[in-house]
Structure 1
Amino acid sequence: MREDDRWKVLIEELEGSEREWRLTQVTAAGPERAGAVGLAEQMARTYVPRHPWSPRRRHLYRVGEGTWLVEVEGATRDFHFRVTLAEYVETI
């Protein structure tokens, strides 16, 4: 692993009939935590989830240090996704 890949932004969306969380995107966020937190928050504000097709507005909730839950209001239904800052540990 390169030092630049230490921090990752993970995006999970509720999918399927069981409404299970699925990892849908992993983005390298750099070697420093402070910059990675900023990127994660930016992605919570701007990420375009698979649903809804007609988003009206979004509600951001910071639920922990480096974790956001985003509710996106659609025309007929609301959808959620989660943005989490994660530190890469190892591949085994």
Structure 2
Amino acid sequence: MDVRTWGLVMEVTVGLGERKHTEAYVMAHVSGSREDALEELERRARSFTPEHPRSPKRRRLLRKDDGFLLVVDGAWQSYVTRFTVAELLEDSAAPKPAPEPEPAPEPPAPEPESAAAEPEPEPEPEPDVERYADGVPVRPAWLGRDDLP
């Protein structure tokens, strides 16, 4: 499978009246097939709520070859949001790939144990402490200590 990086682009109508214009945003990048990118783009287009119109009268989501077109009719004007999937060819602000780590050297072989090695001392047994069935001491160890504030 051919894995590529796709940009999910949203072109949205902003402003009101004569100041109304379109601005574009790259919402996300998707690595994978074009179909994977289109699925993610459709999910985002279906859940997108534009700022305008404030009181929508009708909402229509249309599929195109390279994405989707959302048309929302308001009381006086219609607003359009275009969702497009496009292959990322270049990104001047992309992070640099991390250099390949060098393979770690093999650890040295363990030295054979000598027969004269001393065995590890066994831990001191805990003094008999009355405990509940779940193993928690009935009397906390700190109770009665005079070296605590």
TM superposition score category, shorter chain reference: 0.7 to 0.9
Secondary structure of 1:37's match? helix
Matches of 2:26 and 2:91, distance apart in 1: 18
Q: Name the CA distance, whole Å, in 2 between partners of 1:91 and 1:44.
A: 24
For residues 53 and 69 of structure 1, do their structure 2 counterparts lie closer, same or farther at Cα, with a shift above 3 Å needed?
A: same
1 or 2, which has the higher strand percentage? Answer: 1
The SS at the match of 1:81 is strand
1:59 corresponding residue in structure 2: 60
Q: Which residue does 1:43 correspond to in 2? A: 44
Structure 2 residue ranges without an equivalent (≥5): 93-149
Query: Structure 1's 42 and 74: CA in aligned 2 closer, same or farther, altered over 3 A?
Result: same
Q: Report if the CA contact (8 A) 2:13-2:79 is conserved.
A: yes
Q: Is the 8 A contact 2:8 2:41 kept in 1?
A: yes
- Tell me the percent identity: 30
Shift of 1:25: 4.5
Q: CA RMSD in A?
A: 2.4
Cα pair 2:30 2:37 within 8 Å, conserved: yes
What's the CA shift string for 1:14-55, capped at 9, x where partnerless? 234354321144222332222111111222222111211223
Contact 1:40/1:66 (<8 A) preserved = no
Greater radius of gyration (CA)? 2
Q: Give deviations 1:58-85, integer Å, cap 9, x for gaps.
A: 112223x222111012244321110000
TM-score by length of 2: 0.50
Aligned residues: 88
